[in-house]
C-alpha cells in the first residue's frame, strides 16, 4: 500500500483516526462521526499526517451487499456485481451455486456452480438448469444427505424425493428405525420384517410394526 505525505513517504500509522460506526469506510463526510472527514474513503481526523490510497472497491468489499449478493465492485458510486470473482466471494455461491455474473446478479450458469454448492451435497440439487440448481438425475440424489438420511433418492420435479421402497432401504431411517417401506409419500415400518434388522429393534426391543413405526413387542 503506498502512503503519501507532504514531501516524504511514511509507513502507514493510525494517528488518531476515527472510524465510522459499523465499519472503516465511507463515501461522504456526512457518513462520518463529528470531528472527522471522509478522506481516501476512511473517516479520519483532518490533518492526519498520512492518508492511505485504498482499493477503490474497499467500501463495497466491506458491505453486506458483497457478502450476500456479490455486489463487490464500485461503479459510478454504486456497488454492483462486476465479475464472476465477485459472485465467488458471496455466501449464495457456496450455499446455492450462485457463482456466475449475469447482468447485475449472481446465478447458477456453469455446471460447476451447482456441483460445488451446499445445496448439491445436502439436497441433491447438483445440475444447473436455466439459472437454477435442480436434481435431474438419480446420481444427483444418491450422493446427497437427504437420500442417506431420509430416503429422498429419486429426482422429482427438480428435487430429491422418496419414490420407492428401494429409496427407503438406502436410508438411515430404515437401518436405525426400521422404516423401510414406501407408503403415502414417506418411509414407514410396514411389517415386523422391516423392524427386526433395525438398530431400534436390537437395542431397545422395538421389533413390531404399528402405525408406521417400530414399537415394543
pLDDT for 44: 75
pLDDT for 177: 96
Quick check: is 198 in a domain?
yes
The whole-model pTM stands at: 0.68
Domain end among 54, 84, 102: 54
The mean pLDDT of 120-130, rounded to a whole number, is 96
Quick check: is 208 in a domain?
yes
Q: Indicate the pLDDT class of residue 19, thresholds 50, 70 and 90.
A: very low
pLDDT for 165: 96
Q: Residue 184: is its pLDDT beyond 50?
A: yes
The mean pLDDT of 112-140, rounded to a whole number, is 96
pLDDT for 18: 38
Q: Residue 20: is its pLDDT beyond 60?
A: no
Quick check: is 102 in a domain?
no
Quick check: is 36 in a domain?
yes
Q: Range of 21's domain?
A: 15-54
Closest CA to 74 of 86, 90, 89: 86
What total of structural domains would you count in the chain?
A: 2
Write out the three cell numbers for 95.
450455499
What percentage of the chain reaches a pLDDT higher than 90?
71
pLDDT for 30: 78
Q: 214 vs 45, which has greater pLDDT?
A: 214
Write out the three cell numbers for 93.
455461491
Amino acid at each position: 500500500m503506498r502512503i503519501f505525505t507532504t514531501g516524504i513517504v511514511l509507513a502507514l500509522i493510525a494517528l488518531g483516526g476515527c472510524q465510522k460506526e459499523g465499519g472503516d469506510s465511507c463515501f461522504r463526510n456526512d457518513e462520518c462521526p463529528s470531528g472527522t472527514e471522509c478522506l481516501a474513503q476512511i473517516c479520519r481526523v483532518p490533518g492526519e499526517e498520512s492518508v492511505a490510497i485504498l482499493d477503490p472497491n474497499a467500501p463495497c468489499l466491506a458491505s453486506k451487499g458483497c457478502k450476500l449478493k456479490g455486489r463487490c465492485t464500485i461503479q459510478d458510486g454504486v456497488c454492483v456485481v462486476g465479475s464472476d470473482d465477485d459472485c465467488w466471494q458471496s455466501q449464495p455461491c457456496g450455499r446455492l451455486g450462485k457463482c456466475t455474473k449475469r447482468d447485475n446478479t449472481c446465478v447458477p450458469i456453469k455446471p460447476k456452480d451447482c456441483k460445488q454448492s451446499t445445496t448439491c451435497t445436502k439436497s441433491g440439487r447438483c445440475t444447473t438448469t436455466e439459472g437454477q440448481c435442480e436434481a435431474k438425475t438419480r446420481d444427483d440424489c444418491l450422493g446427497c444427505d437427504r437420500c442417506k438420511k431420509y430416503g429422498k433418492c429419486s429426482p422429482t420435479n427438480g428435487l430429491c424425493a422418496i419414490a420407492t421402497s428401494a429409496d427407503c432401504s438406502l436410508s438411515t431411517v430404515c437401518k436405525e428405525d426400521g422404516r423401510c417401506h414406501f407408503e403415502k409419500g414417506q418411509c414407514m415400518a410396514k411389517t415386523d420384517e422391516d423392524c427386526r434388522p433395525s438398530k431400534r429393534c436390537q437395542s431397545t426391543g422395538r421389533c413390531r410394526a404399528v402405525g408406521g413405526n417400530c414399537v415394543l413387542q
